[in-house]
């Protein structure tokens, strides 16, 4: 086998294994937010006080919204259900946390790149564009609906 053939074979193996990092990111990030959301939802008065200290508008409402978004969003991400859809509010939640709270303490690029929230935001952005992978309920639903509506979807999209 030529060097080009070996490189191509290695790349094809990596492509076939791309489901693994998608699954691991989903499980890690989803569980993290399931856990933090659970903590926020079960301690809303304290979270509302923190939100007020941070100067966030309507602290009781936004603390509840943030907590429930993290709890439900984390669960959906773990399951790989409506992953692209839930990645939008999860990304927004992290963007708000970064801009409204964390950015005030950042003195430069070195401080910024050490923040966790932008990394989580990027993980949700990646899940939005890349999807949950084939080890997900989204993948199962996609297959079911493609079979059910194959005639309307046409031959190009129904052959997955």
| pLDDT tens digits for range 127-145 | 999 999 999 999 999 999 8
| pLDDT tens digits for range 8-19 | 999 999 999 999
* Token pair belonging to 38: 């659970």
- Residue 156's pLDDT is 62
Q: Give the C-alpha separation, 132 to 127, whole Å.
A: 6
- Residue 157's pLDDT is 55
| pLDDT tens digits for range 111-122 | 999 999 999 999
C-alpha torsion angle, residues 126, 130, 135, 141 (rounded to 10): 120
What are the contacts of 79-82 at 24+ separation with CB within 8 A? Answer: 79/30, 79/136, 79/137, 80/23, 80/26, 80/132, 80/133, 80/135, 80/136, 80/137, 80/138, 80/139, 81/136, 81/137, 81/138, 81/141, 82/138
Evaluated on CA atoms 10, 127, 132, 129, the torsion sign reads negative
The mean of the pLDDT values for the chain is 93
Q: Give the C-alpha separation, 28 to 37, whole Å.
A: 14
Residue 105 has pLDDT above 90, yes or no: no
| pLDDT tens digits for range 40-57 | 999 999 999 999 999 999
pLDDT band at 159 (very low <50, low <70, confident <90, very high): very low
């Amino acid at each position: 086998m030529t060097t080009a053939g070996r490189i191509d074979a290695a790349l094809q193996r990596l492509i076939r294994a791309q489901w693994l990092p998608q699954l691991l990111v989903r499980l890690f990030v989803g569980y993290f937010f399931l856990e933090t959301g659970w903590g926020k939802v079960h301690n809303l008065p304290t979270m509302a006080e923190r939100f007020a200290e941070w100067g966030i508008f309507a602290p009781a409402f936004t603390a509840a919204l943030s907590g429930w978004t993290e709890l439900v969003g984390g669960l959906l991400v773990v399951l790989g259900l409506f992953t692209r859809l839930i990645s939008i509010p999860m990304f927004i939640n992290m963007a708000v946390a970064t801009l409204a709270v964390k950015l005030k303490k950042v003195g430069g690029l070195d401080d910024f790149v050490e923040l966790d929230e932008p990394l989580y935001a990027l993980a949700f952005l990646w899940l939005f564009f890349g999807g949950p992978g084939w080890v997900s309920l989204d993948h199962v639903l996609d297959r079911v609906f493609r079979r059910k509506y194959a005639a309307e979807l046409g031959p190009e999209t129904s052959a997955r």
